[in-house]
Amino acid sequence: MILLIERNIFRTTKNRLFKFAPKLKIMSTYILGIESSCDDTSAAVLQDDTILSNVIANQDVHIKYGGVVPELASRSHQQNIIPVIHRALQEANINKNQLDAIAFTRGPGLMGSLLVGSSFAKAFAMGLDIPLIEVDHMQAHILAHFVQVKDKPKATPKFPFLCLTVSGGHTQIIRVDDHFKMTLLGQTIDDAAGEAFDKTAKIMGLPYPGGPVVDKLAQVGNPKAFAFPFPQIQDLDYSFSGLKTSFLYFLRDQLKLNSNFIEENKADLAASMQYTIVEVLMKKLVMASKQQGIKEIAIAGGVSANSGLRNAIKNGEKAYGWNTYIPDFQFTTDNAAMIAITGLFKYQKGEFSNQEITPYTQSIFK
Ligand code: KG4
Ligand code: ZN
């Protein structure tokens, strides 16, 4: 007990000192990360770059609506945030007074959802008198590659590397020169890759979120059973809305001939759509690698959980001489460990936020 109190006094002193000398390194740094940008409430604790806990509360409330309902998402975040943070601290086996900083997702995302996480983070940081650190969600997806799992050391990408960031809201090819020097090389001009998966599922009458369902079906289907047109988009940009429309029209025509068409061809349809989406993603990534002369290749975001994409990236090692970096499943979809690691890099630079900070909804990459 006495030891703990002394440790806490020491921590507080350390944090006060840190405000003036951020590079001072006395002992381990403990960062709490908070993620609430969309429909997952997550909290994670890192000890330096090693994960101690990563708790995620998914919101089932959206399933019956076939997509995220923003108002319901923010209400669920309000219900979940305290228990999730409490559990993250418990699983990490640390006391809140041991935390050195609170990192939170400032954006992009849904405003109502972001407000819950950011308001909590501000209050908690103020209460504990420790630094508050804003994190960009898309940068965090990329920096998830730097989180270490205890006793499972993992190679991290070497700078400069390219990252294909594919999620429910974004599809971006980013050149990463250091933890925070990131340049957008290409992005979708309409739907994101995750949306393409989710809409494929929706059109087939499969549940939301559709990506994992399509992935599972695709594993037992024939990817060449049906051919869908590839978008003709300039440079390194993407487009997925045309593919969605042609899938919709194709099914409409087939259903006129056979009302059981979807049921009878479920796996082949999923495999063919997944194959097309992955081929589209890979084509521009290969182009970007050649243009930039970079063979360090990473993927990030929810769609990086996709088996077809993971295989295609891995095959790039043989086909193009790439070194590839594929995240552990727990770091693909939204999680707070990625927020905490980004927070750690900012903490080491002494980049802190003030209490006036407000969330933003759009990507910082232009
Ligand atoms: O990164 P994320 O959790 O949230 C956003 O920041 O958007 O990504 C969610 C997206 C959803 O569209 C979901 O369907 C997709 O990632 N996703 C997948 C898979 N797992 C999640 N898409 C394809 N295959 C998967 N296995
Ligand atoms: Zn995300």
pLDDT value at residue 59: 86
- Please report the atom of ligand 1 found closest to the CA of residue 168: 7
pLDDT value at residue 11: 52
Distance from C-alpha of 337 to C-alpha of 106, rounded to nearest angstrom = 15
pLDDT value at residue 26: 65
Distance (angstroms) between ligand 2 centre and the Cα of 36 equals 10
268 near 222, Cβ under 8 Å? yes
pLDDT value at residue 363: 87
Distance from C-alpha of 55 to C-alpha of 43, rounded to nearest angstrom = 5
pLDDT value at residue 356: 96
Distance (angstroms) between ligand 2 centre and the Cα of 300 equals 9
171 near 237, Cβ under 8 Å? no
Handedness of CA 309, 313, 314, 318 (dihedral sign): positive
| pLDDT tens readout for residues 94-135 | 999 999 999 999 999 999 999 999 999 999 999 999 999 999
Candidates 333, 335, 338: which one to mutate for ligand 1, based on the most atoms within 8 Å of Cβ? 333
| pLDDT tens readout for residues 324-359 | 999 999 999 999 999 999 999 999 999 999 999 999
Distance (angstroms) between ligand 2 centre and the Cα of 311 equals 21
Ligand nearest to the CA of 169: 1
Distance from C-alpha of 208 to C-alpha of 198, rounded to nearest angstrom = 7
Q: Whose CA is nearest to atom 14 of ligand 1?
A: 211
pTM: 0.92
Average of per-residue pLDDT across 255-275: 98
287 near 253, Cβ under 8 Å? no
Ligand nearest to the CA of 110: 1
Distance (angstroms) between ligand 2 centre and the Cα of 92 equals 23
pLDDT value at residue 9: 46
Distance (angstroms) between ligand 1 centre and the Cα of 158 equals 25
| pLDDT tens readout for residues 280-314 | 999 999 999 999 999 999 999 999 999 999 999 99
Average of per-residue pLDDT across 161-187: 97
Closest CA to 44 of 337, 310, 301, 338: 337
Ligand nearest to the CA of 270: 1
Residue 200 confidence (pLDDT) above 80? yes
Average pLDDT for the chain: 93
114 near 359, Cβ under 8 Å? yes
Distance (angstroms) between ligand 1 centre and the Cα of 200 equals 13
Closest CA to 72 of 56, 84, 58: 58
Distance from C-alpha of 133 to C-alpha of 127, rounded to nearest angstrom = 15
| pLDDT tens readout for residues 17-27 | 455 445 455 68
Residue 70 confidence (pLDDT) above 60? yes
Give, in degrees to the nearest 5, the angle at Cα 28 between 346 and 10. Answer: 105
Candidates 303, 310, 329, 334: which one to mutate for ligand 1, based on the most atoms within 8 Å of Cβ? 303
26 near 14, Cβ under 8 Å? yes
Which residues line the pocket of ligand 1, CB cutoff 6 A?
38, 167-169, 194, 197-198, 209-212, 215, 301-303, 305-306, 333-334
Average of per-residue pLDDT across 137-158: 96
pLDDT value at residue 249: 97
Residue 3 confidence (pLDDT) above 80? no
| pLDDT tens readout for residues 212-227 | 999 999 999 999 999 9
Closest CA to 103 of 343, 360, 344, 352: 343
- Please report the atom of ligand 1 found closest to the CA of residue 194: 12
For residue 281, what are the CA distances in angstroms to 131, 196, 217, 230, 312?
39, 12, 20, 11, 10
Whole-number percent of the chain with pLDDT over 70: 93
- Please report the atom of ligand 1 found closest to the CA of residue 40: 3
For residue 102, what are the CA distances in angstroms to 132, 145, 158?
5, 20, 27
Q: Integer distance in angstroms from the first to the last C-alpha of the chain?
A: 51
Candidates 114, 165, 197: which one to mutate for ligand 1, based on the most atoms within 8 Å of Cβ? 197
Phi, psi of 82 (to 5 degrees): -70, -50
Residue 7 confidence (pLDDT) above 70? no
Q: What are the DSSP calls for 54-76, one per residue? A: EEEEE-GGGGGGTS--HHHHHHH
- Total Cβ atoms within 10 A of residue 213: 19
Residues with Cβ–ion distance below 5 A, ligand 2: 167, 334
Ligand nearest to the CA of 240: 1
Distance (angstroms) between ligand 2 centre and the Cα of 338 equals 10
Average of per-residue pLDDT across 6-35: 63
Tokens 């003709």, located at residue: 232
Q: Whose CA is nearest to atom 13 of ligand 1?
A: 211
